[in-house]
């Protein structure tokens, strides 16, 4: 293919496309990281709640039993 056939109107179109794609991938990665952090935070809160319920049940049982 000869270089004469390359359109001169948008010589940096591929570079711009690569930059847009890179930015989109970074944004996607950041969103995915936020979702993962929120999921882990929810898991931690659920575990803390379960532990609290277990502790409360132990206190109740210790008061009921002689």
Range 4-25 average pLDDT: 80
Report how far residue 44's alpha carbon sits from residue 37's, in angstroms, rounded to the nearest whole number: 10
Q: What does residue 2 show for φ and ψ, rounded to 5 degrees?
A: -90, 155
Alpha helices in 1-66 (DSSP H): 13-64
Predicted pLDDT at 62? 83
Q: Sorting pLDDT into bands at 50, 70 and 90, what band is 65?
A: low
Report how far residue 44's alpha carbon sits from residue 51's, in angstroms, rounded to the nearest whole number: 11
Is the pLDDT reported for residue 28 higher than 60?
yes
Give the percent of the chain with pLDDT over 90: 59
Tell me the domain boundaries of the chain. Answer: 16-64
Q: Sorting pLDDT into bands at 50, 70 and 90, what band is 30?
A: very high
Query: What is the model's pTM?
Result: 0.58
């Amino acid at each position: 293919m000869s270089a004469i056939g390359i359109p001169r109107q948008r010589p940096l179109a591929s570079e711009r496309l690569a930059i847009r794609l890179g930015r989109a991938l970074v944004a996607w990665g950041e969103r995915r990281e936020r979702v993962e952090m929120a999921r882990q935070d929810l898991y931690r809160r659920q575990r803390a709640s379960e532990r609290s319920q277990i502790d409360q049940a132990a206190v109740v049982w210790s008061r009921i039993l002689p």
